[in-house]
Amino acid sequence: MEPDLWIYVLEGVVFIALPVLLFVEMYIGHMDYTGLLEKCGFGKREVGLLLVGGLVGIVLGPLGLFGVPLFIYQSSYLAIDLGGAIIPIVLSLYLIKIKKINIPAFLGAVCIIGILTYMTTEFRPSLGIVSEFPYYLFPSFTAIAITLVIYRRNITSGIPFAYSTTTFGVLIGADIVRIPQVMVGLEEIREEMGLPIAGGSIGGAGGLDLVFLAGLLAIAPLLFLAPRILRHSEAHTPPSKAFSKTLSKTILLAEEMFEAGDYEKTMENALRAVDMKIKDVGLKFHIDQSPYITLDMLYVHPYIRNDYWLLFNASKSVYKTREEAFRAILTAKYIIRELERVEMRMYATHSQRFVAFLIDMILISVAIIILFIIGGIIGLYDLTDILAPQNLVWLWAFALWLWVAQAVYFTIFEGWWGQTPGKRMIRIIVSTDEREKCGFMDAFTRNVVRLLDTVLFFYIISVIMMSIYPKKQRIGDMVAKTVVLKV
C-alpha cells in the first residue's frame, strides 16, 4: 500500500474512532471516576448535558436545526449550533466561575491555542472550516501541556482549565476570526447552486465538531494523569439517595433478625424504618410532629394510621411471636409504600405543567411580535420586505430565534426565581430533586434538553416518562436532576 494511502486510511480511522472513544471515555469516566469528575466540576448533570447535546448535534446539526442565527448576509446566514458550540461555551463559563480559574492564565492559554488553531485550520467553501490529521489534535495537546505546567499540583482545577481554554481557543481560532470569509463563501455557494438560502453553523457538526471534541480530548489524558487517590475519590451521595439506602438497610436488617429468630429486634427495626419514612415525608411537607400526628396531618387513610398504631403497640409488648414479627415486616413495607404515594402529591400534575407552559408560550409569542413590530417601526428593517414569501432566510431565522427566545426565557426565570410567570400563576415551582433552589445550570440543562422533547414525537416520550416515574420527571428533568413541585 502506498504511503499516502496509509495516511488517508489512518486519518479516516482516527476521524471515525476519536468521537466514539471520547464519548465512551466520558461515559466510563462518569461511572468509574465520578468522584474525580465531580471535584473538577463535571458532575452527572454536566456529563449528561455534554453527551445528550453532542449526540443530538450529530443528528440535527448538519440539518441546520436548533442553531442560533448570528449573521445574515443577503440570502445566507451563519448560526451557532446548540450541541456543538453553545453547550461547551456555557459549560466553560460555568467552570471558570465555580473553579475560580485564573483569568490572566486563561486568556494567555486561549491566545496560544487560538493562534495554533488558526494556523492548523482552513476554510473550504464546500466543506466549511476543516483541519487535517494530525493537526486537529494540536490544540488539545497544547492545552494539556499548558495545564501540566500551571496546575501540575492541582489537577482538579487543571481539568476544567484545559477544557475551557481549549473550547474558547478553538472557537476563536477556527471560527470567529473567519466569520467574514465564511459569509462570503456561503453566498457564493448559494449563487452557484441556485439555492434559495444557504446556511452555515459554528459547531454545526455537533459531537463531531472540533469545538466540541477538542475540550473532551484535553480532559481524557488528564483524568489518567491524576494521582491515584484522586482517581478513586468517593462520589458525593445526595441526601435522598443516602436516606433510601439507610431505609433499605433497616428493612433488610429486620428481615435478617427475623431469620435469626430475634423477633424483638425484628419489630424494633421494622418500627424504626416506618418512623424514618414518616419523618422524611413529613419534613417534605413542612411537618415536624410525632409519627402518629404526622400521619394524621398528611391525611393518610385511617387504615394506615391504625396499622401504625398496631405496629407500635406490638413492638412494645413483652412477648413477641414469630407471627407478630412477620406481620410487622409486612406492615412496615405496606406503610412505606403508601407514604411513597403520599410523596407524589408534592409533584406538579401533567395538566398543571401543560397550562403553565401554554401561558408562558403565549407571553413569549406576544413579546416577540411586539418587539418585531417595534423594530420595523423604528426602521431596523422593512417589514413588508422581510415578510415576503420569497425571503426564506429571514423566515427561517425568525423560526430559530423563536425557539431560542423560549429557551432563554425559561432558563432566566427558572434559574433566578425557580418560576416562570406561567408557573407562578399555576402555583408550581422548579427545584433540584434534593428540594434545593434551582440554579442557572439546572435551568439551562433542563431547557436545552427540552429540544429532545420536541424531537421525540413532540413530548409524547416525556409524557410517558412523567407518568411512569414517581417524581414525574421528563427527559430534561432527569438530566438536570430537577423536579417540578406544587407550591
Question: What domains, with CATH codes, occur in the chain?
Answer: 3-231 (no CATH), 239-345 (1.20.120), 350-486 (no CATH)
Q: In angstroms, rounded to a whole number, what is the distance separating the alpha carbons of residues 94 and 110? A: 16
**Quick one: cell of 425?**
400563576
Q: In angstroms, rounded to a whole number, what is the distance separating the alpha carbons of residues 53 and 371? A: 30
> What integer best gives the mean pLDDT of the chain?
85
- Helices and strands of the chain, counted as H and E runs: 23, 7
Q: In angstroms, rounded to a whole number, what is the distance separating the alpha carbons of residues 53 and 205? A: 11
| Of the candidate ranges 201-215, 362-376, 457-471, the one whose mean pLDDT is the lowest | 201-215
> What are the φ and ψ backbone dihedral angles of 100, each rounded to 5 degrees?
50, 50
Residue 47 has a CB neighbour count (10 Å cut-off) of 19
Strands in 192-347 per DSSP E:
198-202
Rounded to a whole number of angstroms, the distance between the first and last alpha carbons of the chain is 70
Single pTM value for the model: 0.86
1 pLDDT more than 50: no
146 pLDDT more than 90: yes
pLDDT single digits (tens) 285-303: 989 999 989 999 998 989 9
Query: Are 206 and 54 contacting, i.e. CB atoms less than 8 angstroms apart?
Result: yes
438 pLDDT more than 50: yes
**pLDDT value at residue 147:** 95
**pLDDT value at residue 431:** 95
